[in-house]
Chain A
Amino acid sequence: MTTTITTADPLVRVRGLYKFHGPTADESTGLREVSFDVERGSFVCIMGPSGSGKSTLLHLISGLDEPSAGSVELAGHAAAGLSPRQRTLLRRETVGYVFQFFNLLPNLTVRENIALPLAIAGRRAGAGDAKIDALIARFGLEARADALPHQLSGGEMQRTSIARALAGEQPLLLCDEPTGNLSQKAGAEVMETLRQVVDEDGRTVLLVTHNPRDAAFADEVRFLVDGRLVDEPRLTRPGLDVEAVHAALAKLSI
C-alpha cells in the first residue's frame, strides 16, 4: 500500500472515538467521544492518570486496535474499513513507536534493533547502513552498537528504541510513557532527544504520559480524564512549563 501524505491535512485526525472494553458503553468504557487533531511537525502531549485510556488511544491511532465507534485518519487515510493487513502497512509507513518498556528484540544487537524497520520494509541486509550508522552516532550508541539489549542501561535502551522509531522515516512518532522506566536524568535526556526530533527532523510526536516534566517538552498539552479529552485546561506555548502542567493537574484534581 502506498500512502500519499498531503501536507495541508493534519497528520492525525481523531473524531468521536469510543472504545468499549465490554460489549456496551458503561463504566468500563475506555474512551468516550475523543476528538482532536495533530498537526504536522508538532509535539503534542496527552496527560492523564493511570487507566485514563492514554495507551488505548495510541493503540487506536496506530491501528493496533479497532475503535468501537468514531474514526481515525492517519496522514489523510481513514483507518476504518481497512483489513488488518492494510492497517499494518499503513502503520508501517506512517508510525514509529516508542514504548515505556522499550520492547527491543532480545536476540538482536543495538544496530540490528535500530535497523529493524528497514528489514520489516523488506530492505536487504546492508541497505541503509549509512543511515543506521548516523542514527547510532546521533544517539551516542557507537560503543554499544553490537551489544544485546540486556547489556544496556535503561537510558540506552530507550535511546535505541527512539533511534529504531526514526530509522523507518515515518512522519509520526507515538511515544507511550517513554520515560516511565527511566531515572530522572535518563528521562530528561530522552525527552530532549524527542524535542530534537521535532525541531531538527520535522517529525511529529504524540506523547502520552503522566509525568509533568515530560509534558513540559511538548508544544501542546491536553488532558484525558476518565476516557474523555477535556477541553480545558489546554496548555500551549508560550506559557507551557512544569509549573503550568502541575497547576492544570491540580485544577483537574488528578
Chain B
Amino acid sequence: MGLAAQLAGKSLVGRPGRTLFSILGVALGIAIVVAVFTLDHVSVLSRTRWLTDDYGADLEVQPTADLADPRAALLKLEGVAGVAAYFQNDVGVRADATDGRDDVPTTVRLVALESESAPSLGILEVEFGSLLAPRDPEGVLLGAALAEALGVGPGDRVWLAPPLNAPASECFEGVERELESGGPDEIVTEPFVVRGILARSGVGRYAQGRVAVVDYLAGRRLYRGRFVESRFWVQRTGQVDLEDLEANLMGSFTFERNERRAVGQMADERAFRNGVRMAGLFALLLGLFVIFHTLSMSLLERVREVGTLVALGSTRWQVARVFFLEALVIALSSAVLGILGGLALSFAMLAVGITTLGVRGGPVGPFEVPWATVGWLTGLGVLIALVGSVYPVLRARGANVVGALRGDRSDAGATKGFQVLAIVLLCAVLPGFFFLLTPLVGAADPALMGAVLLALGGLGLLVGLPLAAPRVVARIGGWLVGPLVRRFPLAGLVAHRAMLGSPARIGASVAAIALVTAAFTGLRGMTSSLRGEVEEWGAVAIEDKVFVQGLPQVTLEELERALAGVPGVLGIERGDVRAYVNFLLEGIEPEQLERYGPLAGDAELQRRFRDEQTILVSSRLAKQRGLVPGDQLFVRTSGHGVQSFEVLAITDEVGYFIHPDERAYAVAHPQHLERFFCLDTDTLTSAAIRMGSTADPIAAYLAVQQAFPGAGALKLRLGTTILGQHLDDIDRDFILFDIILVLSALLAGLGVLNGQLLSALEREKELGVLRALGATDEQLGGSVWIESVAVGLTGGVIGLVVGASLTPLLLSALRSLSGLDLPNRTAGGWAPAFLVGAVCLALTAGVAPVRRIRRTDAVRAVRTGG
C-alpha cells in the first residue's frame, strides 16, 4: 500500500465521524437527485403506458376555413417542425391478384401520408427495407403484424382495395346517420410494391401493426370518387410549448392532441416537473457544498501533518494524493449509497402515490430506473466532488513547510481560494452541466429561463454572499447572539471568537441554513399563492353550488320543481351535456343563467346566447387560447364540418362541474350540442345547483334528497366541501417538495454539524486548556449551542429575507409558466416557524460536536505546544 493510500485510509478511519458525515452529506444529495429523476420517469411512464401513440406527431389538425394552402399556413407558424397531410380509412389487402376471386381480403387501416414530409415528422421508421420515395405512386409500407400475416417482405407485391361501404356515421341535425360512400359499386384493386416493413413505433404501432402506409396522392387515387377527410399531422419543435402552438393554430384550424405525447407537457405540469428538478439540483448542490466544506476544513485541521510529511521528504504530489484519495473514497462511497438511497426513496414515494404529476390514490408503477440519467447525474456529483478536492490538493502542493511545522493556521489565502472555487463550481459549473444532462421540460421561453435564472441567482446569492463576505456574516451572527454572550460570559466569548476566527466555516454553515430557509419560504409563498388562486376561483365557481350526481334520468323541469320551495336557488347547470372537442364543451339552458353570471340582467347577451352560435368561455380556457370576447372558437363536428362559436364572455361563474374536474371549458346552448353531437338534452342525471350567497345550500341538498328518495346512487356534495378538497389537493401535490426540502434541511444540518465537529477538533487544544483552567462541560458545550443559535438565526433571517424577496419574482415566473392568475402571497405566518426551525436545525447539528467536546482531554491539551 502506498504512502498516500495508507495516510488517506488512516485519516478516514481515524476520524470516523467526519468520514461518515461527509459520505452521508454527498450521498443524501445524490439520493435526492436520483429519486427526483426516477420519480419523474416513472410518473410519466405510468401515465403514458395506457395511451397508444397511434401517430407520432404532437397534433392532428384540420383547417377551419378554405385556406388556399393550409400546409404553407401551418409551416409559417412558430414552432412547427414538420407538417404532413394525411387521411386514413379502412382498406382491404391481399398478397396476390384478386381477379376472379371472391374471398374477403384482410381489412386493415390505411394511412395515406405525404411521403416527402414523413421524415421531418419522424413518425415513420422501417425495420426492413426503405421508406417511401417522395410521391411514390405505387410503394407501400406495411406494419410488422400485417406483413407477417400476409407473408410478404420488401420487394413483394400486394393489392389494396378500398371497402365498398364506408363504415362511419355522423351526427346531422341531432340525428345519427350512416355516411353514404358515394363511391363505385364494385371493388377497385390496385397493385402496390412493398418498400419496407414498419418498426413497432410511430405509425408502425397503429392498429397493433395491422397498417398499410401509402403516399398521400396514391391514397387519393385509390379512394377516388369516395369521401375522405384529409387532415394534417403537425410536429412541433422544442422551441415552443404545446399550448402556445395550439393558441397559434386557433385562428384557422381545429386540432386534437396526441394525449400520449402531451403527458407531463402541459403548463402546470411543466412548471411542477421543472420545479422538482430544480429542487433536485438544489439538494445536489447542498450535498457537494458539505463535502467542499469538509475537505477544506480537513486541510486546515491537518496543516501540520502536511508540513511534517513534506519536511520528512514526501513529495508534494504524494501529499496531494492523500487528499485526492480521500475525496475519491468519499465520493464513490457516497455515489453507491446515494444511488441505493435514491432508488429506495423514489420507490417508497411511488408506493404511496407521490409522483411529479401530482399525488395519486395508490401505488404508481411500473418501477423503472432511468439508468442513463441516474448514471450521468451521479457521475456529475462524483466529478464535481473530485474537482472540489483539487483545492486542498493545490493547497497541499503549495504548503508552506515552515509555517506548517510551526502550526500556523492563519490561512486566509487558502480560505479565499476555496470560496472562489466553491462559488464557481456550485453556482456555475454544476447547474450548467446539470441542465446539459437533464434539459428542462418545455420550450426555453423567456419565462422559463427567467425562472431558472432567478432560482440560480437566489442560490448564487445565498451561497456566494456568505462565502464571499464571511466576516460580515460572522459579525451578523455575533450581533444576533449578543444577549446570549452577556448572559453566558465564557461560552459567549468562546463562541463569539470562534465565529470571528472561522468566518469561512460560519459563512458556509449560514449559507446552508439560509438556502433551506429561503427554499421553504419561497415554496410556502408559492403554495399560499396557489391556494389563493383556487380560493378566488372557488369563491366564484364552486362555493355557492350544490353538486348532484346519480339522478334517475329526470327532466330539468322535475329538478326545478324539487327545488321550488328552496329559497335562493338561482339556477341549475346540467352536468352531463358535454362533448370533448379539443376542449370540454358543455350545454346549459340560457334560462338558467339569467339570474347570475355574465348574462344576468343583460337582455342582449341573453338573446345572443339563446339565438346565436355563441359561447361562454372559462378563464383558464381563455388564457390557454388567448381568447377575448368577440373571438371565434372553432369546433369540429362529424356531420356539420367545422363550426364557429363567438366568445360572448369570459367567466368562471357558470359551467364548472366536479366530474371531470376541468377548469378549461366552454358553455353553449344545449341545442348546439344536441344538433352537432346528438346529445340527449331531455333528461339529466347530474347537475350543479347555483345558490345565492345568502341561501342555505343544505336546504337544496335536503330538497333533492326528498324529491328523489328512490335514487340509490344519488350523491350530493356541497361546493364548500369540493373547494376544501381542491385546497387540500394543493398541499397534497406539493408534499413532494416538502419531502425534498426536509431532506435538504437534513443536508444543511449535516453541513453545520460537519463544520462544528471539525471546528471542535481543530480547537481541541484550546478547549482542553479552558477545561484545565476550570471551564465546565456546560460552559464548553454552551459555546457550541450559542454558535448554533447564531448560525441558525443568521441563516434563518437571511433565508427569510431572501426567500420573501424572491417570492414575488418566483410567482411572476410561475404565472408566465403555468398561465395561472396567481395572487401575490407570502409565507406569512410560516415565517416564525421557519426561523425557529432554522435554529432548531442548527441546535440539532450541535449535538454531536458537544458530545465530542465532552471527550476533550485537558491533560493532553496542556502537555503539548502549538
Contact = CB atoms under 8 A, between A and B. Distances in A.
B493 A119 contact: yes
A150 to B, nearest CB: 7
B499 to A, nearest CB: 9
A118 to B, nearest CB: 7
A101 B766 contact: no
Contacts of A121: 774
9 tightest Cβ-Cβ pairs between the two chains A and B: A92-B774, A101-B865, A107-B497, A119-B490, A119-B489, A107-B501, A103-B769, A64-B858, A120-B490
A124 B493 CA distance: 10
A96 B777 CA distance: 19
B862 A99 contact: yes
Contacts of B863: 55
B3 interface: no
B771 A106 contact: no
Contacts of B862: 59, 64, 97, 99, 101, 103, 176
A125 to B, nearest CB: 6
B775 A88 contact: yes
A124 B489 contact: yes
Interface residues of B, number: 32
Given A59-B859, A101-B864, 13 more contacts: A64-B862, A65-B859, A89-B774, A91-B772, A92-B773, A97-B773, A99-B769, A100-B865, A105-B766, A120-B775, A122-B488, A124-B486, A168-B774
Contact of A122 (B410, B490, B861, B866): B490
A107 B775 contact: no
8 contacts: A88-B771, A89-B774, A91-B772, A99-B862, A106-B766, A120-B775, A120-B779, A168-B774
Interface of B: 410, 485-486, 488-490, 493-494, 497-498, 500-501, 765-766, 769-777, 779, 858-859, 861-866
Contacts of A119: 489-490, 493
Given A62-B772, A100-B865, A123 B497 contact: no
A105 B770 contact: yes
A85 B859 contact: no
A117 interface: yes
A112 interface: yes
Interface in A91-137: 91-93, 95, 97, 99-101, 103, 105-108, 112, 116-125
A107 B787 CA distance: 15
Contacts of B861: 103
B500 to A, nearest CB: 7
Contacts of A68: none
A183 to B, nearest CB: 16
A35 interface: no
Nearest to B485: A125
A120 B866 contact: no
A124 B491 CA distance: 11
A62 B862 CA distance: 12
Contacts of A84: 777
A181 interface: yes
Interface in A39-98: 55, 59, 62, 64-65, 84-85, 88-89, 91-93, 95, 97
Nearest to A122: B489
Interface of A: 55, 59, 62, 64-65, 84-85, 88-89, 91-93, 95, 97, 99-101, 103, 105-108, 112, 116-125, 150, 164, 168, 176, 181
Contacts of B489: 118-119, 122-125
B501 A106 contact: yes
A97 B768 CA distance: 13
A162 to B, nearest CB: 13
Contacts, number: 89
B500 A91 contact: no
Given A120-B490, A125-B486, A150-B410, A181 B774 contact: no
Nearest to A88: B776
A6 to B, nearest CB: 22
Contacts of A62: 772
Nearest to B488: A122
A65 B765 CA distance: 16
A99 B494 CA distance: 20
A84 B769 CA distance: 15
A84 B770 CA distance: 14
A194 to B, nearest CB: 18
B498 A107 contact: yes
Contact of A117 (B497, B501, B773, B779): B773
Contacts of B769: 99, 103, 105
A176 B500 CA distance: 31
Contacts of A97: 772-773, 862
A193 B146 CA distance: 108
A42 to B, nearest CB: 23
A18 B769 CA distance: 24
A243 to B, nearest CB: 31
A77 B777 CA distance: 22
Given A97-B772, A117-B774, A112 B493 contact: yes
Select the residue from B485, B486, B779, B863 with max chain A CB neighbours within 10 A.
B863
Contacts of B858: 64
Nearest to B498: A107
Contacts of A120: 490, 770, 773-775, 779
Contact of A85 (B488, B770, B772, B776): B776
Contact of A88 (B488, B774, B866): B774
Nearest to A62: B772
B303 to A, nearest CB: 14
A181 B865 contact: yes
A120 B486 CA distance: 13
B859 A91 contact: no
A85 B777 contact: yes
A84 B774 CA distance: 11
Nearest to B767: A105
Contacts of B770: 105, 116, 120
A55 B488 CA distance: 32
A181 B866 CA distance: 12
Nearest to B779: A120
A54 to B, nearest CB: 11
A251 to B, nearest CB: 29
Nearest to B862: A99
Nearest to A59: B859
Contact of A108 (B497, B765, B777, B865): B497
A112 B500 CA distance: 15
A138 to B, nearest CB: 20
A62 B501 CA distance: 30
Nearest to A92: B774
A226 to B, nearest CB: 20
Contacts of A65: 859
